[in-house]
A and B are shown apart, each in its own frame.
Chain A
């Protein structure tokens, strides 16, 4: 199995209070997140992917065999996000691949990287970067935030080993988009129900493969589109302490494709050699669970320290949101 050699994370530093947004639009109810990690007007998933990549491989990508980018919000269509990122990183010899349309794309990227490394085409940099542009006063917008995480996958010299992976999926419409329409459609009750259902199936299959029940991992790094989805994991035997260091949706919002990646960076930062981490990605009715064994002391990516950020005013947030709609990001 391939290994995580290095990893890095990036969060934009700006934080808008969700309560202020709700008050402004007259939306009742308790905010689902305290703040949103909001990219500046000159940031987008490409610039955030660049930051997470530089944090992982520095300015030296000469050795890379492949670069995989997962995002639901590439800044442009009909051309490759990964190709532009490769040029920005100065990576010339690597193959580059885009993974789109799925918040669990990071877990798909790890599976592909595992196979590429086994085929001698590594090392592979897997980057997940997202920011679903917020529209006004929709429930999903109240959690829409941005961030990125990157993982260098190689054959040896790593700090953690990719273990078994199991998947489960159901045909549902929970969060989706028709064609190129700009705004997501969503049925939160379907999201909550399906997240729990496919997590249950995937975790049971993973337990069968590894002999390790979900409650026995040092921590669980999960896609967290909404705080409710973390509670679904609790009902499957995942303890509060396993999620304590990897939960952030209630602090900074939904990072989309970067969600599971940022959680994994947090989990690896806190892990010790010999421990096991469970990575779980969810999107569009599919759940992907992977065991990761920490084999050496992990470097500190600084992910935990990025969560706090700096407050911006509602007027700044509003100006940036307007700006993104005028000039699509």
Chain B
């Protein structure tokens, strides 16, 4: 799976809580934006499940020319995080120099500002910091 620098911002408003969706058919977790479709079996009955926040970087890229909402924070890392609960989430990895990140680095979630909406609503969501 490749990492897209802007993929994360296209996933809709981020959330105050970090969670994933548990499939009632096969029991697998899918990312939080999958409300009606299990990644594993295609099942349509999914329920919220909170994540503890720990995970590991499986892939990442360094963003030097960020989308508008992240201007001023460059350069920063966007990675795919394999959560301990066995679900893959894309997210920024912050407060770390890009050189200090590698595949396999342990990370933990942290609440951060994601963007200011065009009508002034502040979107918070979970980024990750190196453990």
Chain A residues close to B by CB (< 8 Å)? 13, 40-44, 46-47, 50-51, 59, 75-76, 84, 87-88, 90, 319-320, 322-323, 327, 329
Q: Is the beta-carbon distance between A47 and B73 smaller than 8 angstroms?
A: no
Count of inter-chain pairs, beta carbons less than 8 A: 51
Q: Is the beta-carbon distance between A44 and B113 smaller than 8 angstroms?
A: yes
CB distance from A148 to the nearest CB of B (A): 12
A-B contact pairs, 5 of them (CB 8 A): A13-B95, A42-B113, A43-B112, A51-B110, A59-B52
Q: Is the beta-carbon distance between A47 and B122 smaller than 8 angstroms?
A: no
Asked if A47 meets B17 with Cβ closer than 8 Å, knowing A42-B73, A59-B52, A319-B72, the reply is no
Q: Is the beta-carbon distance between B112 and A47 smaller than 8 angstroms?
A: yes
Further contacts, 17 of them, CB under 8 A, given A59-B53, A75-B113, A323-B72: A13-B95, A40-B73, A40-B94, A40-B95, A47-B111, A47-B113, A47-B124, A50-B110, A50-B111, A51-B111, A59-B50, A75-B122, A84-B124, A90-B17, A322-B72, A323-B71, A327-B116
For residue B17, which residues in chain A have a CB less than 8 angstroms away from its CB? 87-88, 90
Asked if A43 meets B113 with Cβ closer than 8 Å, knowing A319-B72, A323-B72, the reply is yes
Assign chain B's interface to a size class: 10 to 19
CB distance from A312 to the nearest CB of B (A): 11
Chain B interface mostly: strand
For residue B114, which residues in chain A have a CB less than 8 angstroms away from its CB? 42
Closest to B92 in A: A42
- Binary contact track B106-131/A, C-beta < 8 Å → 1, others 0: 00001111101000001010010000
For residue B73, which residues in chain A have a CB less than 8 angstroms away from its CB? 40-42
For residue A329, which residues in chain B have a CB less than 8 angstroms away from its CB? 113
CB of B41 closer than 8 Å to a CB of A:
no
Q: Which of B59-73 contact A (CB under 8 A)?
A: 71-73
For residue B52, which residues in chain A have a CB less than 8 angstroms away from its CB? 59
Q: Quick one: which of A76, A84, A88 has the most chain B CB within 10 A?
A: A88
Asked if A76 meets B113 with Cβ closer than 8 Å, knowing A40-B73, A40-B95, A42-B94, the reply is no
Question: Which residue in B50, B53, B71, B110 is a CB contact (below 8 Å) of A47?
Answer: B110
For residue B16, which residues in chain A have a CB less than 8 angstroms away from its CB? 84, 87-88
For residue B112, which residues in chain A have a CB less than 8 angstroms away from its CB? 40, 42-43, 47
Q: Is the beta-carbon distance between B127 and A42 smaller than 8 angstroms?
A: yes
Closest to A328 in B: B116
Q: Tell me the bound Cα distance from A43 to B72 in angstroms.
A: 13
Q: Which of B11-50 contact A (CB under 8 A)?
A: 16-17, 50
Asked if A46 meets B72 with Cβ closer than 8 Å, knowing A59-B52, A87-B16, A90-B17, the reply is no
